[in-house]
């Protein structure tokens, strides 16, 4: 393919699925909505149509961008430049000071070329097709595009501008958090950002700025007001790197995005994963994006008609699920594996142990104890407290049992009165 970006000094073009292209470029704010535009503390200036200047600018840019895409496919950059001139009257109609409008026009014309290059022929996210088992939470994803926060700017998630060589994308060199989003409120944000920082330190990444990420979370929540039950995903990568394992020398990439979900099923069947969790591995206890092992385990659970896979560690001890912590009830005692077993220090797990007023014993158990439990449940920021109905096809005596029900009620009451415990 012809590298159409060279005559204008644009970055190198890389091929993407579907015949599209994407420039490798850092985000530049003018064409994208500034962070303040979605900040709850900032007022919005609107024209008589009720649209903010930022929204009008984005609309104008999209109109020109649609016409410019076909020109880029033919490589006629001169025609693209002429098409961009059509943006001038739209920008000048914003009733701003002339000097500011001329400056805005210059920046929009510059950034629009980059944006159009990044979006030519790419498939909209809404066309993505998934067909997971109904019992799995992944089947609940709503794939309509939403607003995301990336390195300080709120953008449409389908136009991210992240390098195709970002190490988080190519080798999983990143950490992340999944934060529950309920009726416009992000839950346990302080605890999640604290764990993100610990995971980043464990992976040797630069420390993420908690204040900046908190602003990003607030901005994404405000930009996606229709989400009643969902999740916020915070990702922090090492930034652009090599094609191998070597890290680059650029700044890290930070992304905050939201996704609407369906509430989890009232009961979940589980299997024991056919592979162990390495409690002595370099990533033990870190929440990294190197999640292929969990993907495989969950796929195996789906294949066998279950909604979660439970790992033993290399010693045969009960450890955790692919994306959950686990609690079991044996002889009337509520027990969860200790962190030394190799499980992640789950936020929901910690709140149940520390703040819910239930007596929890942290001790090692053989993985076989799960199938012998009187009752058991999973915990995560998305599932909350989810009873386990069966283990490897064997039904547990109670689902939910009394201790599970009491714990679920206490956890819900805690978050209702204290969203950031």
Query: Which two tokens mark 322?
Result: 């692919």
Residue 401 structure tokens: 């049992």
In the prediction, which pLDDT does 162 show? 81
What's CA 403's distance to the chain center, in Å? 32
Closest CA to 396 of 333, 332, 329: 329
Whether the per-residue pLDDT at 57 is higher than 90: the answer is no
Tokens of 155: 């953008």
pLDDT digits (tens, 9 = 90+) for 115-151: 444 333 333 333 323 333 334 444 334 445 567 777 6
3-class SS letters over the chain: CCCCCHHHCCCCEEEEHHHEEEECCCCCHHHCEEHHHHCCCCCCCCCCCCCCHHHHHHHHHHHHHHHHHHHHHHCCHHHHHHHHHCHHHHHHCCCCCHHHHHHHHHHHHHHHHHHHHHHCCCCCHHHCCCCCCCCCHHHHCCCCCCEEEECCEEEECCCCCCCCCEHHHHHCCEEEEEEEEECCEECCHHHHHHHHHHHHHHHCCCCCCHHHHHHHHHHHHHHCCCCCEEEEEEEEECCECCCCCCCCCCCCEEEEEEEECCCCCCCEEEEECCCCECCCCCCCCCCECCCHHHHHHHHHHHHCCCCEEEEEECCCEEEEECCCEEEEEECCEEEECCHHHCCCCCHHHHHHHHHCCCCEEECCCEHHHCCCCCEEEEEECCCEEEEEEEECCEECCCCCCHHHHHHHHHHHHHHHHCCCC
pLDDT at 156: 67
Range(s) of the chain covered by CATH 3.30.470.10: 142-260
pLDDT, tens digit (0-9, with 9 covering 90-100), for 319-337: 999 999 999 999 999 999 9
The separation between CA 191 and the C-alpha centre of its own chain, rounded to angstroms, equals: 17
Mean pLDDT over all residues of the chain? 76
Token pair for 408: 């679920």
User: Cα–Cα distance between 59 and 64 in angstroms, integer?
Assistant: 9
Q: What is the CATH number of domain 268-416?
A: 3.20.10.10
Span 375-387, mean pLDDT? Answer: 97
Spacing of C-alpha 216 from chain mean position = 12
Residue (of 318, 312, 410, 411) closest to 364 by Cα position: 318
70-79, 286-295, 395-404: segment of lowest average pLDDT: 70-79
Among residues 411, 338, 342, 343, the alpha carbon closest in space to that of 381 is found at: 411
Token couple for 10: 């644009």
Sequence ranges of the chain with CATH classification 3.20.10.10: 268-416
pLDDT at residue 419 is higher than 90 = yes
33 closest CA partner among 118, 141, 146: 146
**Helix or strand holding residue 153 (H, E):** strand 153-156
Task: Give the residue ranges of DSSP H helices in 240-346.
Answer: 292-303
Q: Is the pTM of this model over 0.85?
A: no
pLDDT of residue 164: 79
Name, of 88-92, 110-114, 248-252, 385-389, the range with top average pLDDT: 385-389
Task: Tell me what the mean pLDDT of segment 35-44 comes to.
Answer: 38
What angle do helix axes 53-74 and 77-85 make, rounded to 10 degrees?
Answer: 160
> How far is residue 234's CA from residue 14's CA, in Å, rounded to a whole number?
26
C-alpha to C-alpha distance for 191 and 353, rounded to whole angstroms: 14
Q: So what CATH class is 142-260? A: alpha beta
How many angstroms separate the CA atoms of 194 and 345, rounded? 11
């Amino acid at each position: 393919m012809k590298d159409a970006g060279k005559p204008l000094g644009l970055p190198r073009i890389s091929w993407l699925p579907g015949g599209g292209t994407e420039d490798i470029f850092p985000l530049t704010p003018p064409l994208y909505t500034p962070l303040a535009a979605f900040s709850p503390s900032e007022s919005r200036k609107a024209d008589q149509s009720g649209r903010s200047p930022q929204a009008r600018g984005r609309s104008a840019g999209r109109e020109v961008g649609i016409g410019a895409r076909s020109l880029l496919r033919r490589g006629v950059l001169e025609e693209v430049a002429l098409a961009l001139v059509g943006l001038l009257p739209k920008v000048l109609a914003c009733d701003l000071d002339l000097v500011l409008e001329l400056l805005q026009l210059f920046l929009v014309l510059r950034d629009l070329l980059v944006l159009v290059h990044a979006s030519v022929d790419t498939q909209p996210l809404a066309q993505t097709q998934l067909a997971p088992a109904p019992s799995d939470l992944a089947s609940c994803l709503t794939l309509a595009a939403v607003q995301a926060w990336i390195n300080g700017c709120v953008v449409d998630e389908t136009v991210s501008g992240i390098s195709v060589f970002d190490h988080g994308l190519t080798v999983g060199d990143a950490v992340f958090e999944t934060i529950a989003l309920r009726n416009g409120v992000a839950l346990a944000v302080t605890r999640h950002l604290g764990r993100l920082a610990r995971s980043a330190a464990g992976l040797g990444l630069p420390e993420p700025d908690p204040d900046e990420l908190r602003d990003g979370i607030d901005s994404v929540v405000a930009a996606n007001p229709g989400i009643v039950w969902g999740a916020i995903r915070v990702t922090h990568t090492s930034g652009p790197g090599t094609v191998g394992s070597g890290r680059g020398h650029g700044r890290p990439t930070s992304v905050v995005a939201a996704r609407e979900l369906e509430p989890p099923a009232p009961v979940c069947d589980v299997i024991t994963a056919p592979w162990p969790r390495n409690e002595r591995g370099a990533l033990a206890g870190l929440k990294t994006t190197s999640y292929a092992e969990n993907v495989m385990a969950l796929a195996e659970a789906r294949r066998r008609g279950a909604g979660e896979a439970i790992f033993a560690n290399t010693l045969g001890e009960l450890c955790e699920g692919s994306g959950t912590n686990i609690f079991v009830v044996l002889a009337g005692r509520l027990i969860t594996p200790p962190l030394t077993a190799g499980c992640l220090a789950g936020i929901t797990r910690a709140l149940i142990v520390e703040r819910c007023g239930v007596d929890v014993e942290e001790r090692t158990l053989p993985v076989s104890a799960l199938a012998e439990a009187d009752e058991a449940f999973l915990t995560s920021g998305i599932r909350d407290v989810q009873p386990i109905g069966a283990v490897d096809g064997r039904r547990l005596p109670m689902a939910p049992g009394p201790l599970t029900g009491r714990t679920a009620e206490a956890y819900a009451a805690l978050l209702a009165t204290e969203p950031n415990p």
